Chains A and B, each alone.
Chain A
Amino acid sequence: MRLENRLPDETVNYSIEHPLKEFAWLLAGVTAVVAAVAASVGYFAGEIAARVPFRVEKDYAAGITRHWEEQKRTSEAEEARRALRALAAKLAAAMDLPAGMDVTVHYSDEAVVNAMATLGGNVVFFRGLIARLESEDALAMVLAHEIAHAKLRHPAASLGRGVAVGVTLSLVSSSMGRGLAGDPVQVAGVLPLLKYGRDQERAADEEALRALAAVYGHVAGARELFALFAKIGRDEALQIGLLHTHPFTSERLARVDELARERGWALEGRVRELPPALARLKRAAPAE
């Protein structure tokens, strides 16, 4: 018997292929598949959720409505709320909401520069945003935009989509055993949600412009509003557009001009001053 140990053959037990090659293939493949699955699951879930009767959504969102209704209000806030509701009624009348749908506008005395539409036709305006606005027309644009979200059932669609995509993603990332690869998979799954989000914003902008043109005869308020947004978000050039729900302001401004040209809406016109109850908020908090 001859005893011999040879040096190991370096081509048998492991691969000499560059690790980045496998990495690139796997990442591209998995990302594409997850994004496609999330996009289709999200699409169908959103479509189904948006077809749930509004009555059901409103019952479901009773807690949200109560939360905003039962907030303590100063007399100033009460007047602001009334003024907002009067304007909302005027706009809603021009937006032919589906039968059985109603929108409830709430006012919140917080410095946040925002307004939002949530489940059950609830629209919330924050003082911070109103304090920044210069005219009733610009305010009407925001208001009509939020009412349009409610009309198009966007909050319900987003919720349905978010839940469905979330469940799908957690199934995928948990099936990967060690959770590390979960993060990029989550990003891949969330991207389609952001795209749907931007589509919703575009649709809401379009509805709002139509309402603005119907009520005021021109869409100057929209241009004023987006010009203001551009001023507020000067650093937006730094932000990665892909990861934001709202389209870029410059894009929204261009869209206003384009739609106005198509539909024959006047871009310029006399803009109205803010209702007195809301103009007072502006004077009370000029620095915000």
Chain B
Amino acid sequence: MDLILEYFDFLLFLVLLALGYFVGRMNEQRHYLSIRRRERQLANVLAFAARFPPDPHTPRECVLVTGSVVVSSDYFKQFVTGLRTLIGGRMRAYESLLDRARREAMLRMKADASRHGCRLIFNVKVESTNVGGGMRGGTAAMEVLAYGTALKSLPDRSEAPRAA
């Protein structure tokens, strides 16, 4: 008991690290499975960064569609990246976090477009903001927002994507 009290700080750190690693990794793997599944489901909604639709002169109804996600880092990732800031280099732990966030935001935007009956989004932009506290102690969390202009009906052209 005394031993636990004496090294309480260190034990707490180990517990948090293990929790962050196992739970964080499990969540990440589950999230990727879900992302890949939905990416296939929503493959019929197309998104492009081009400023204008393929046929800008045909009058069509446009809708602003958005998808946003707020994603938090776990204790393990924060610890690893904390060490990484000392020597620099590729922050692998955050790369997968932000990759998931971007893809999730895109999916939510596509789902939004799909709800409006749209299958083409153009002028897509992705923005991200840090929402996780200050420099010290605050958990790293990011908001990723994807938005674009969705077209209500598709141009009647052969190169347009086929309806699902």
Contacts and interface: CB of A to CB of B under 8 A. Distances in A.
Interface residues on B, range: 35 or more
Contacts of B96: 14-15
A181 B78 CA distance: 8
Interface in B50-97: 54, 75-87, 90, 92-93, 95-96
Tell me whether chain B's interface is mostly helix, strand or loop, or mixed. helix
Interface residues of A, number: 36
B83 A3 contact: no
Given A3-B48, A15-B96, A176-B82, A184 B43 contact: no
Contacts of B75: 180
B80 A26 contact: yes
Interface string B120-151: 10000000000000011110100000000000
Contacts of A187: 10
Contacts of B87: 26, 29-30
A258 B138 CA distance: 54
A7 B3 contact: no
Interface string A90-124: 00000000000000000000000000000000000
Nearest to A175: B86
Interface of B: 2-3, 7, 9-10, 13, 21, 25, 36, 39-40, 43, 46-48, 54, 75-87, 90, 92-93, 95-96, 99, 103, 120, 135-138, 140, 159-161
26 contacts: A1-B54, A3-B159, A5-B48, A8-B103, A13-B95, A15-B95, A19-B21, A19-B25, A19-B93, A23-B80, A26-B80, A26-B83, A26-B87, A29-B87, A30-B86, A176-B83, A176-B86, A178-B85, A178-B138, A179-B137, A181-B85, A183-B9, A183-B10, A183-B13, A184-B13, A239-B3
Please name the 8 residue pairs, one residue from A and one from B, whose CB atoms are nearest each other, closest first: A181-B82, A14-B96, A26-B83, A14-B95, A15-B92, A14-B99, A13-B99, A179-B136
Given A172-B86, A176-B83, 10 more contacts: A4-B161, A5-B47, A7-B36, A8-B103, A15-B96, A30-B87, A179-B136, A180-B79, A181-B85, A184-B13
Interface of A: 1-5, 7-8, 13-15, 17, 19-20, 22-23, 26-27, 29-30, 172, 175-184, 187, 235, 238-240, 243
